Amino acid sequence: MIDTIEAAWSPLAATPLFWIVVTVGSFLAAKRLNRICNGSAAANPVLLAILLTAVVVAVSRVPYPTYFAGAQFINFLLGPTTVALAVPMARNMRHIKSTAPALALALTVGLLVSISSGIGLVWLLGGSHAVALSMAPKNATTPIAIVLSQQIGGLPALTATLAILGGIISAMIRRHLFSFLSIDDHRTHGFVAGVVGSGVAAAEVSSLSGLAAGFAALGIALNGAVTALVMPLLAVFWH
Amino acid sequence: MIGGFFLLLACDLLGEALRDLMHLPIPGPVVGMLLLAVCLTLRSHRSGRELPPQLEHSAEALIANMGLLFVPAGVGVITQTSVLESEWLPILAGLIGSTLLGLIATALTMRLVLRKPKPDPRHPLDGGRR
């Protein structure tokens, strides 16, 4: 019996289609779980989907590159989807223009605090240099963060993980934090999600309103550009 | 739908090409996003036209399921178990601490300097629709 399952399983687990089905299936299951939990931020669908998929990958004893050989077709859609954020951005261009100085200031303060506290906390708690440098670019959207991490001497794979986990944490606590700070402006919700949490948090904030989605798109773009310009300086002054 | 998807892919490609040519530090898709946003804004300013419906449909479908697209890279966490095991405390504290502080700093700065929005019903692209 087990032999029969193994005989059917092994060739199946090597096909790209199998891992696409597992990934999409996990995401649908995660969304359903999130609905069962009344859309609670703690039951973040991206986090649940990653856990479900990771369990299947681990149980089937398949190496990550084999999984990714299939899942890359889903990963590929990140490109056109990032471009698609231009639509909510264009719809809200008037709001963006009228708030440009506030956005520039918030971006500068937010990035300074987030980069320095990330490096500082790792350093204070005895983490290694490589881990601290992997933490530094994590707020930028994942593809930018990976390239920057490599450039400054971090661990690119760890940075990718941190960028996604940071986005998940940001999506999980933003709503509670903002109601505590009594902030309900969708421009702030969107921009903050884009700057601290990039794509993952933007995916969550887009369900709030088109205004929030537009500001999140802008947050991702500006954060990516500024982080890309600042990181090489960090590498020069701190090594 | 397919026409809109084509436009998104074409902007993605154009962004990649520009990034290569000009050695920009930002990834191609982000360059493509900025290009498309500028084009759409100019188009509506000049002719007062709405966004192309095909593009809106494709963009909305992709953005609504954007979370799915982070799963393949996120599963990569399984390749990082050794460093996560040996340095779990600095990593966890740095990750949660910097995210929380970054959220607070960005949000409070915006609350401090942002004025209330004034809706303009005459503007063609204005509105909260996704």
Are residues A162 and B74 in contact, defined by beta-carbon separation less than 8 angstroms? no
Tell me if ipTM is over 0.90.
no
Whether A155 and B83 lie within 8 Å, measured CB to CB: yes
A44 & A91 share domain: no
CB pairs under 8 A between A and B: 349
Query: Count of domains in chain B?
Result: 2
**Smallest Cβ distance to B125: which of A93, A169, A206?**
A93
A65 falls within a domain: yes
Whether B80 and A102 lie within 8 Å, measured CB to CB: no
Whether B75 and A50 lie within 8 Å, measured CB to CB: yes
Q: How far does B21 lie from chain A, in Å, by closest CA? A: 17
Q: Does A233 touch chain B (CB under 8 A)?
A: no
- Identity of the highest mean pLDDT range in A3-7, A25-29, A69-73: A25-29
Q: In degrees, to the nearest 5, what angle opens at C-alpha B60 toward C-alphas B54 and B65?
A: 135
The pLDDT-based confidence of A1 (bands split at 50, 70, 90) is low
Question: B37-68 pLDDT, tens per residue?
Answer: 999 999 988 887 788 899 999 999 998 888 89
Question: A67-105 pLDDT, tens per residue?
Answer: 999 999 999 998 999 899 899 989 888 889 999 999 999
A70 & A121 share domain: no
Q: What is the DSSP string of A84-112?
A: HTHHHHHHTHHHHHHTHHHHHHHHHHHHH
A81 falls within a domain: no
B127 falls within a domain: no
Q: How far does B2 lie from chain A, in Å, by closest CA? A: 13
B4 & B48 share domain: yes
Whether B30 and A82 lie within 8 Å, measured CB to CB: yes
Q: Does A196 touch chain B (CB under 8 A)?
A: yes
The separation between CA A215 and the C-alpha centre of its own chain, rounded to angstroms, equals 16
Domain of residue B87: give its range.
Answer: 80-116
**Rounded-to-integer distance, Cα A176 and Cα B108, Å:** 15
Residue A65 pLDDT > 60: yes
